[in-house]
Structure 1
Amino acid sequence: MTEFGVIVGTDGVDAAWSAGADYVEPTIVGNLVVPSQDGGWMRSPHYDGAPSPSFAILFPGELQLADPSFPTERIDAYLESAMAIVGSAAQPGAKIVFGSGRARTLPDGVDEAQGRALLARVLTRARDVAARHDLRVLLEPLHRGETNMINSITEAVAFLDEFSIADVQVVADLFHIMTEAEPLDVVRDEGARIGHAHIADSGRIPPGQGDWPLAAFLTALREGGYTGPVSVECHFADFEPELTAALAHLRALDAAA
């Protein structure tokens, strides 16, 4: 049976366990990793919890990853600090989702090829720094409302191949798939490249409250060979009861698949 977790900040962890989540996927920026007084980064003194198997939101928006005028040493320094901090809160082999749409957006006036090369450098660097802490970085396609670079699973796979970036898999996120009108067949066809999954219902409401093809998405993941966990990532009006219902709905769909 599939494990279902939820993306959440520290303030929601206890409620997530009470709702029956199999795991929590903490956010990194502003939750686990926060600015330090010396201008660097530190582990939040408010962060608490058992070691997690996956984490979301890697980069703060002020780090402009595809901007040639932005100092690469600031990006590298952040990665060194952040990966060490995440490693201190992670299970062995934990996954880090590289979404971070604002940080990776190509600025106006920057050559696209140059921006893509810079982003490839950052992704490669993130992969290598993460590996030193027994962590794995995954690339998440984001819809065009969040970024202008890498908006679909197809584009993510092509990007990794273009720059020969090995040992990085792709996140299948139903919200971005549906928003970009990418066919679910891609999830099955690129199953060998999928390393993690996020799920939400229509408009990013909790699973079971909308009309998106949740069962078809779970089936496509399974038919493609993905047998890992699936994280709920959505907007809650009343977190614990809505998560309880969402998890029950997803488990029923999973059992019937």
Structure 2
Amino acid sequence: MGLERFSFNQATAKFWPLPEVVAGCAVAGVPGIGLWREPVRDYGLARTAALVREAGLTVTSLCRGGFFGADDWLDDNRAAIDEAAELGAPAVVLVCGGLAGRSLEPARARVAAGLEALAPYALDAGVRLAIEPMHPMFCADRSVVATLGAALDLAAPFPPEAVGITVDTYHVWWDERVWELIAAAAGRIACFQLADWILPLPADVLVGRGLPGTGHIEFPRFLTAVAATGYTGPIEVEVFNAELWSRPGQEILNDTIAAYLALT
């Protein structure tokens, strides 16, 4: 496996300035980059779009939308869709939000209602909403969508061109139904992300992910299963890890490329 489908998610080198991330990827022959809204806004949306385009890179996703419990969720998600369209990103990754003062059923109903409101806007913009199921330990504060099955059920009422899912290995590897659910996701996978499950977990579990191959996830099996659905899009590596973030950006990129190339 070469780098033809590889995408370096900006969050893997959280503190590497955007122009340096883009330049590093271009020099290394990395074709894709996953961007986050906050650093894009800090640098400027139009400037970022020009920077990436001039470097010859493709924006593979924009993170994040969702958080449907926030007061400004509708305006913020429409803005995320607009930003993705300007960047040429095919998908906005949705972190759907936690309980936000509600019990599970109303919180999950709120996600469904949010998708119904946003899907036509996304379809008109040519940007897919990519629902990201997250590990259940994040259910209370980050996402009440905890399984691939739940994400697929939420996506089902909408055209695949408008609403798809994100398959992030870190969040779904534990599910005993993961292989049958990936098979059922044919045509719905809008974003495919890799990160490993490492032990021991740190006190801040959010930053406890590892580069592929450093933990317990069966990456070859995931690659095979996702390929069997017909998905031929980018493969992002997105790792939240405090120790990794402490390193120089170029070193992080080099190690990420090496980990990705070692998967097959």
Return the offset for 1:85. Answer: 2.8
Query: Structure 2 residue aligned with 1:243, among 224, 228, 253?
Result: 253
Query: Structure 2 residue aligned with 1:79, among 68, 77, 80?
Result: 77
Give 1 or 2: higher helix fraction.
2
Q: Does structure 1 residue 15 correspond to structure 2 residue 24?
A: yes
CA offsets 1:121-146 (integer angstroms, 9 cap, x no match): 22233332233332221111111222
Return the offset for 1:179. Answer: 5.1
Query: Structure 2 residue aligned with 1:127, among 107, 119, 122?
Result: 119
Return the offset for 1:47. Answer: 3.9
Structure 1 gaps, min length 5? 35-41
Q: Does structure 1 residue 166 correspond to structure 2 residue 169?
A: no
Return the offset for 1:116. Answer: 2.4
Percentage of identical aligned residues? 19
Structure 2 gaps, min length 5? 12-17, 199-208
Greater alpha carbon shift after TM alignment, 76-85 vs 190-199: 76-85
Q: Is the 8 A contact 1:152 1:182 kept in 2?
A: no
Q: Is the 8 A contact 2:164 2:190 kept in 1?
A: yes
Alignment-derived partner of residue 151 in structure 1: 146
Write the distance in 1 (CA, Å) between the matches of 2:184 and 2:123.
27
Aligned amino acid, residue 108 of structure 2: R
Q: Does structure 1 residue 142 correspond to structure 2 residue 134?
A: yes
Alignment partner of 1:32: what SS? helix
Q: Does structure 1 residue 106 correspond to structure 2 residue 99?
A: yes
Write the distance in 1 (CA, Å) between the matches of 2:40 and 2:117.
20
Q: Is the 8 A contact 2:197 2:210 kept in 1?
A: yes
Q: 1:76 to 1:107 in 2, by over 3 A?
A: closer
Q: Is the 8 A contact 1:191 1:225 kept in 2?
A: yes
Runs of 4+ in 1 over 6 A off after TM superposition: none
Alignment-derived partner of residue 91 in structure 2: 95
Q: 1:182 to 1:17 in 2, by over 3 A?
A: farther
CA offsets 1:183-239 (integer angstroms, 9 cap, x no match): 344323433432320001233211233342111111111123222111000133534
Q: 1:127 to 1:187 in 2, by over 3 A?
A: same
Q: Is the 8 A contact 2:84 2:91 kept in 1?
A: no
Aligned amino acid, residue 31 of structure 1: P
Alignment partner of 1:172: what SS? strand
Aligned amino acid, residue 134 of structure 2: L
Alignment partner of 1:151: what SS? coil
Alignment-derived partner of residue 65 in structure 1: 68
CA offsets 1:31-90 (integer angstroms, 9 cap, x no match): 2246xxxxxxx9458746225433232238xxx514xxx64xx32222333332332222
Write the distance in 2 (CA, Å) between the matches of 1:180 and 1:14.
38
Alignment partner of 1:247: what SS? helix
